Structure 1
Amino acid sequence: MMKKCLIFSAGDFSHAQKEQVERTKDDLVIACDAGFAHCICAGITPDYIIGDFDSMKETALVVQEAFRSFRNRHPDRVLSLSVRKDDTDTMFAVKFAMQKGYQEFRLFGMLGGRRFDHALANLQTLLLIRHHNGRGTILDPSCTIQIAKNETVCFPAGTKGYL
């Protein structure tokens, strides 16, 4: 069984998605920048908060206060990145988790939002995960996305969608 990592970024996330957030005690949870707000919405405290924090200032004041509180209690679990970097906050988080041995990824808040370039980069992140023999799933309010490579993909009976 692969070690599972849940990553929350700042794209679209709905209250209905809380049902899709299944965390066990062995799972690693990472909030990327303003994706911390989605963790709060889902009732989850992340293990790490990673980002350049350029979008944190755009979140609600209660989220900013919760972030400051988390940072004060766990300064070693907040990884501040430069605004000028080659990887998105999400890509950095995936690589960070891979270094810790995680191979299964559930990605929330990866699409929508105000940055199409980030949505595109998050699709590329799925490719990186698959290239390293991991499994990545983007769970969006309107769709679920996975990368398949030389394998059979099975869906529950009655599932509708596109392949």
Structure 2
Amino acid sequence: MAIKRVVIFTGGNLGGWALSHILADDLLIGADSGALFLIMNGFTPDLAIGDFDSVSGQELSRIRSISKVTEQYDPVDKDYTDTELAFREALSLNPQEVVLIGALGTRFDHSIANIHLLVMAQQSGISASIVDEHNEIRLVTDKLTIRQSGYANVSLLPLTPQVQGINLHGFRYPLHNAKLIMGQSLGISNVLEAASGQITIEQGWLLVIQSRD
């Protein structure tokens, strides 16, 4: 049976807000302490993965006993972060969508690396987003429709040196065949005024960040 959605919980900022993003038929992956978070909140990870250096031995035993599958990696002899290991596993299942929760936190290097994972999903033809309590982040290379979902702001930031041919419909500040250049803040804090908004671009990679304070 085709997998509709994979939701990954990883070890950044997590809280009760995160649980509302779980749907009944989601396949759940817990990366390192993200697996423990799921278990402590009554969910069974379909896969727990990582080096588990953020949990105690007793907690790891609990993760192993409850998760359907556990894959443990050496904390030194591995090429990828725990989050990327989980993300690669998710993409290998060829789902329609991957949602990454807990990917933003105090480690700014990890946060940026996790945002870059959206490129891998885009190249695989799989819809992906990063969600935390205040933000929802997507990458667009051609077109994207977003809907009103409780976020006050929509910001556009280039992930390539420039993004060309940007068109916005349904926004307070529409754009037509516009260009955004890396290093500018021109695309910050637009507002979606229609029930849904359309974003199209002709060239480049554009981060679309819906946010609230």
- Please indicate the TM-score interval, normalised by the length of the shorter structure: 0.7 to 0.9
Alpha carbons 1:15, 1:41 under 8 Å: kept: no
CA contact (8 A) 2:36 2:59 kept: no
- Partner letter of residue 16 of structure 1? W
Deviation at 1:41, TM superposition (A): 4.8
TM-score, scaled relative to structure 2: 0.64
CA distance in 2, matches of 1:70, 1:19: 22
Please report how far the alpha carbon of residue 29 of structure 1 lies from its aligned counterpart in structure 2 after TM superposition. 1.0
Question: Aligned ranges for residues 140-159 of structure 1 at < 5 Å?
Answer: 140-156=132-148, 159=151
1:18 lines up with 2:11 in the alignment: no
User: Does residue 1:92 correspond to 2:69, yes or no?
Assistant: no
- Whether 1:105 aligns to 2:106 is no
Q: Distance in 2 between matches of 1:111 and 1:87?
A: 17
| Higher share in helix | 1
C-alpha separation in 2, matches of 1:153 and 1:73 = 38
Measured in 2, the distance between the counterparts of 1:73 and 1:144 equals: 30
The code of the aligned residue for 1:88 comes to T
Q: Deviations over 1:61-98 (max 9, x none)?
A: xxx64541341466x71101122322111111121122
Q: What amino acid maps onto 1:162 in structure 2?
A: V
SS at match of 2:100: strand
In structure 1, distance between residues paired with 2:135 and 2:88 = 24
Q: Please, which runs of 5 or more residues in structure 1 have no aligned partner? A: 58-63
CA contact (8 A) 2:29 2:48 kept: yes
* Higher relative contact order (Cα pairs below 8 Å, separated by 6+ residues): 1
Q: Which amino acid aligns with 1:69?
A: R
Instruction: Give me the identity figure in percent.
Output: 29
Give the Cα separation in 2 of the matches to 1:124 and 1:73.
Answer: 31
Count of aligned pairs: 153
TM-score norm. by structure 1 comes to 0.81
SS at match of 1:20: coil
> 1:123 corresponds to which residue?
115
Q: Residue 83 of structure 1 corresponds to which residue in structure 2?
A: 75
Question: In structure 1, how many angstroms separate the alpha carbons of the residues matched to 2:117 and 2:36?
Answer: 21
Residues 152 and 103 of structure 1: CA distance in aligned 2, closer, same or farther (over 3 Å): closer
Q: Distance in 2 between matches of 1:44 and 1:30?
A: 11
Residues 28-69 of structure 1, C-alpha deviations (whole Å, 9 max, x = no match): 211000112321354311011100111123xxxxxx645413
Root-mean-square deviation (CA, aligned residues, Å) is: 2.3
Which residue identity lines up with residue 47 of structure 1 in the other structure? D
Secondary structure (helix, strand or coil) at the match of 2:98 reads strand
Indicate if the aligned counterparts of 1:103 and 1:129 stay in contact, CA closer than 8 A: no
Which residue of the partner structure matches residue 62 of structure 2?
69
User: Is contact 1:5–1:29 with CA below 8 Å preserved after alignment?
Assistant: yes
Unaligned runs of 5+ in 2: 156-213
Q: Which runs of 4+ in 1 moved over 3 A?
A: 64-67
